[in-house]
């Protein structure tokens, strides 16, 4: 089981190593968009949308890695004060009854929209924009799958871990 968890980790680590560069490209493109608009009077809807596409890709595909390294936002006040056993139980409950079902629901309900978008190769958000909304929508199921896989890897570790004495 540890090999399965490690394999899942490696998928999210590899994805993170690729998408982390998108932050740099986002900043550079945004810099040139602002420079072009305010210094040279040139505007590009496609360049502006590319920042949106990169931002969405960075966060949607980086979510599984964020879960792996435990840097996601925790909405709790008492968790840090609990014992390791209680924290483990809360994590197991959260993965089994909150995270996995919500990701499954999002995957299920978004799939028809993604499928239809691919059928018509859905065009740009704005006139003159990037003609690939179908790719943007594809990030939703990819996000769900990467987060669900990482959740499973974490559950494997949570269930196989020896409870502290």
pLDDT given at position 165: 36
pTM for this predicted structure: 0.92
Report d(CA 55, CA 91) in Å as an integer. Answer: 28
pLDDT given at position 15: 98
% of the chain beyond a pLDDT of 90: 88
- Ramachandran angles phi, psi of 26, nearest 5°: -60, -50
Query: pLDDT tens, 97-116?
Result: 999 999 999 999 999 999 99
Report d(CA 58, CA 55) in Å as an integer. Answer: 5
pLDDT given at position 163: 45
Domain boundaries, the chain: 2-160
**DSSP state letter for 164:** P
**DSSP state letter for 40:** S
Whether pLDDT at 68 is above 60: yes
CA 28 to chain centre: 22
pLDDT given at position 162: 56
Whether pLDDT at 129 is above 50: yes
Cα torsion 133, 136, 141, 144: sign? negative
pLDDT given at position 164: 44
Cα torsion 15, 16, 21, 25: sign? positive
- The stretch 22-32 carries a mean pLDDT of 97
Whether pLDDT at 70 is above 60: yes
């Amino acid at each position: 089981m540890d090999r399965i968890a490690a394999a899942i980790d490696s998928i999210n680590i590899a994805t993170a190593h690729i998408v982390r560069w998108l932050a740099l490209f986002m900043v550079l493109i945004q810099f040139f968009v602002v420079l072009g608009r305010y210094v040279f009077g040139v505007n590009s809807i496609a360049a502006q949308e590319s920042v949106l596409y990169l931002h969405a890709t960075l966060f949607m595909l980086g979510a599984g890695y964020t879960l792996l390294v435990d840097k996601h936002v925790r909405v709790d006040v008492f968790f840090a004060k609990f014992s390791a056993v209680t924290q483990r139980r809360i994590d197991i409950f959260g993965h089994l009854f909150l995270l996995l079902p919500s990701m499954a629901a999002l995957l299920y309900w978004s799939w028809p929209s993604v499928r239809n978008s691919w059928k018509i190769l859905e065009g740009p958000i704005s006139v003159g924009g990037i003609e690939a909304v179908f790719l943007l929508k594809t990030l939703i199921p990819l996000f769900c799958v990467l987060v669900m896989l990482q959740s499973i890897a974490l559950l494997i570790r949570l269930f196989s871990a020896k409870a502290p004495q």
